[in-house]
Structure 1
Amino acid sequence: MHGTVAAGYEGVREEFATVVAGEREDYAGQLVAYVRGELVVDLWSGPGFSADTLTGVFSCTKGAAYLVVALLVQDGVLEPDQRVSHYWPEFAAEGKQDVTLRELLAHRAGVVGADAGFSLEELADDRLIAARMAGQRPYWRPGAAFGYHAWVIGALTGEVVRRVTGRSIQELFEERVRAPYGLDFYLGLPEELEPRFATTLPMLPTPEQQAEIDAEVTGVESLGGIAFNEHRADAPELWDFPNQRIARAQGQASSGGVASARGLAGMYAAATTGLDGRPPLLKPGTMAEFAQIQSIGYDVVSGTHKAFGLGFSAVGEFYPFLGQGAFGHSGAAGSLALADPRSGLAYGYTRRRYAYPGGAAPENDGLLRACVTAARATR
């Protein structure tokens, strides 16, 4: 284990050491925390891993996309209660004409995938996804339910952004967020940074875990199968998507981001408390609006309890020790990134091997709890 912690954060280091000791010998991960803009935790472990190693962060990418949308709402360029078809007329097809941007961000639009699915090349291309989804009939009446738009939400919101600004989410993220702060969080990884990228390794479940996986398998033509593109025979495995250069290069705004834990935590610090002497990107009212729960309860795609704000996951629903108004997003392989504005914490965690059962890895509970406890004790 390598890295440093500030005074008062020794308990975080001890918790990370426990995680490392309890994992397989090939475990590799990073943990970073900022509190009120100050770097207080910077830890990493694993063969060939350093603080500068970059990994695919899967749906943590969505947080970057939502931050761009939040900035445009704050600027008055976008209005959450405006119809999506006002900005993007083609989206009105197949009964979607009244879907608002708020409903889209809250995963209530019902267009979680395409009937024919997407190949790797198509899945990496937000513009193509958006064009296909414009003509897609919703899988439920918009607003009647909510379900995780896993592969397509970045493309859908990105097309709204492009129609209004003439720029992609990737371009705006680079100009307004990543470059000004020098963040190691890329929606489109430059080729010269490829040597720093570490491929995601597949899940290695125990026999007991594999039995649970086998028992929970749903049909590839089910709503969940369509949302996760499992009904397309030539599609990449979810865990392998960021390992494809086309995915990293194009930085698909739902799951194509590449980052380090420093980059993940740094983005949320820049957004909420400020970083490197700069004021926060988001005003308190914008933060509160985007963190406010819009959809909560039974997610018809995952079949589990979920809670979403405007795009962002309402993470306090799953980590109740967080303050009210905490927001962020997890990534399929186990990563997690979030902000807890009440404690001033910005948190980022990555790991190389895909964790069971998918989504925020179980160890985040103890790591995040230790960070929050220390942040509150050192006010």
Structure 2
Amino acid sequence: SSQRVCDYERQHVAGPVGAEFHIGVPDDALPRVATMLDFVGGALGEDPDPTIAAILTPGSLTNRAFMIAPIYITHFNEPALLQAEIPSANGCTSARSLARIYAAAVSEVDGVRLLDAEQVDDARTEQSVGADLVMVGNPNRLASGYWLPDDLSPMLGPGAFGHAGLGGSLGCALPEREIGFGYVMNQCQ
């Protein structure tokens, strides 16, 4: 497609299912965006997540992968960063909208289904498994564009697929139950 990612997403994903999901928040939606707060207990807290600790370790592979610019979580409160179109880093949505998108991936929502049966099978067919050199401490089971359940993140159970975001947000679906799930927060954990 010759469309920008934000336009494609709006036209083919969020729009058809009536979800409010933005890659680059428009002016009229800015007042509804929650303020991002620092990590609970500071960035590392008492029992730091290995990935967060690695992100904050200058020069580590994880730090180099995540810190393409010196951006800290609370920088996402700045309108310029919220309104930038950064598909890998600044999707902005509500839990209800995220759940609605994932539900529409595996079932009909108001007459719209986003993925056909073959695409759902592809979304949950394991393509890679093993230790992740960037997301340290987390095993990875990956499909085409999605994460698969594992011991650390069981999602909705075997057969589910989804994706996590920084700080603990999660969107996922379980085709057998035709259910989508969304969890978002404004304080990272």
* TM-score (structure 1 length as normaliser): 0.45
Closer/same/farther in 2, CA of residues 321 and 166 from structure 1, 3 Å limit: closer
The amino acid of 2:118's aligned partner reads G
Say if 2:51 is the partner of 1:213: no
Closer/same/farther in 2, CA of residues 320 and 247 from structure 1, 3 Å limit: closer
Q: What is the rounded CA distance, in whole Å, between the counterparts of 1:212 and 1:248 in structure 2? A: 30
Task: Provide the residue aligned with 1:115 in structure 2.
Answer: none
Gaps of 5+ in 1: 1-164, 356-379
Q: Give the superposition deviation at 1:312.
A: 0.8
SS across alignment from 1:346:
strand
Q: Give the superposition deviation at 1:258.
A: 0.9
Q: What is the rounded CA distance, in whole Å, between the counterparts of 2:110 and 2:49 in structure 1? A: 48
Task: Provide the residue aligned with 2:10 in structure 1.
Answer: 174
Q: After superposition, give the CA deviation of every residue in 1:263-309 in whole Å (9 maximum; x if it has no partner).
A: 1001111221011123x221111111122111211101122212211
Closer/same/farther in 2, CA of residues 193 and 314 from structure 1, 3 Å limit: same
Q: Is the 8 A contact 1:186 1:259 kept in 2?
A: yes
Closer/same/farther in 2, CA of residues 274 and 202 from structure 1, 3 Å limit: same
SS across alignment from 1:293:
coil
Q: Give the superposition deviation at 1:259.
A: 0.5
Closer/same/farther in 2, CA of residues 224 and 272 from structure 1, 3 Å limit: same
Say if 2:131 is the partner of 1:293: no
Larger mean Cα displacement after TM superposition, 244-253 or 257-266 = 244-253
Q: Pick one of 161, 186, 189 that aligns with 1:352.
A: 186
Closer/same/farther in 2, CA of residues 241 and 266 from structure 1, 3 Å limit: farther
Task: Provide the residue aligned with 1:323 in structure 2.
Answer: 158
After TM superposition, what 4+ stretches of structure 1 lie above 2 angstroms from structure 2?
Answer: 209-219, 315-318
SS across alignment from 2:177:
coil
C-alpha RMSD over aligned residues: 2.3
SS across alignment from 1:210:
coil
Q: Give the superposition deviation at 1:315.
A: 2.7
SS across alignment from 1:351:
coil
Q: What is the rounded CA distance, in whole Å, between the counterparts of 1:248 and 1:179 in structure 2? A: 19
Q: What is the rounded CA distance, in whole Å, between the counterparts of 2:76 and 2:86 in structure 1? A: 10
The amino acid of 1:322's aligned partner reads G
Q: What is the rounded CA distance, in whole Å, between the counterparts of 1:214 and 1:308 in structure 2? A: 21
Task: Provide the residue aligned with 2:21 in structure 1.
Answer: 185
Q: Is the 8 A contact 1:323 1:342 kept in 2?
A: no
Q: Give the superposition deviation at 1:241.
A: 4.0
The amino acid of 2:18's aligned partner reads G
Q: Counterparts of 1:114-263 in structure 2 under 5 Å?
A: 165-205=1-41, 210-213=45-48, 217-218=53-54, 219-229=57-67, 235-237=70-72, 239-263=73-97
Q: What is the rounded CA distance, in whole Å, between the counterparts of 2:105 and 2:41 in structure 1? A: 36
Say if 2:105 is the partner of 1:271: yes
Q: Give the superposition deviation at 1:171.
A: 1.2
Closer/same/farther in 2, CA of residues 167 and 321 from structure 1, 3 Å limit: closer
Task: Provide the residue aligned with 1:310 in structure 2.
Answer: 144
Q: What is the rounded CA distance, in whole Å, between the counterparts of 2:8 and 2:119 in structure 1? A: 18
Q: What is the rounded CA distance, in whole Å, between the counterparts of 2:119 and 2:2 in structure 1? A: 23
Q: What is the rounded CA distance, in whole Å, between the counterparts of 2:84 and 2:45 in structure 1? A: 33
Q: What is the rounded CA distance, in whole Å, between the counterparts of 2:66 and 2:172 in structure 1? A: 23
Q: Matched residue pairs, number?
A: 183
Q: Counterparts of 1:338-377 in structure 2 under 5 Å?
A: 338-355=172-189
The amino acid of 2:120's aligned partner reads M
* TM-score (structure 2 length as normaliser): 0.86
Q: What is the rounded CA distance, in whole Å, between the counterparts of 2:183 and 2:156 in structure 1? A: 18
Task: Provide the residue aligned with 2:169 in structure 1.
Answer: 335
Closer/same/farther in 2, CA of residues 321 and 337 from structure 1, 3 Å limit: closer
Say which structure is richer in helix: 1
Q: Give the superposition deviation at 1:214.
A: 9.9
Q: Give the superposition deviation at 1:210.
A: 2.6
Task: Provide the residue aligned with 1:11 in structure 2.
Answer: none
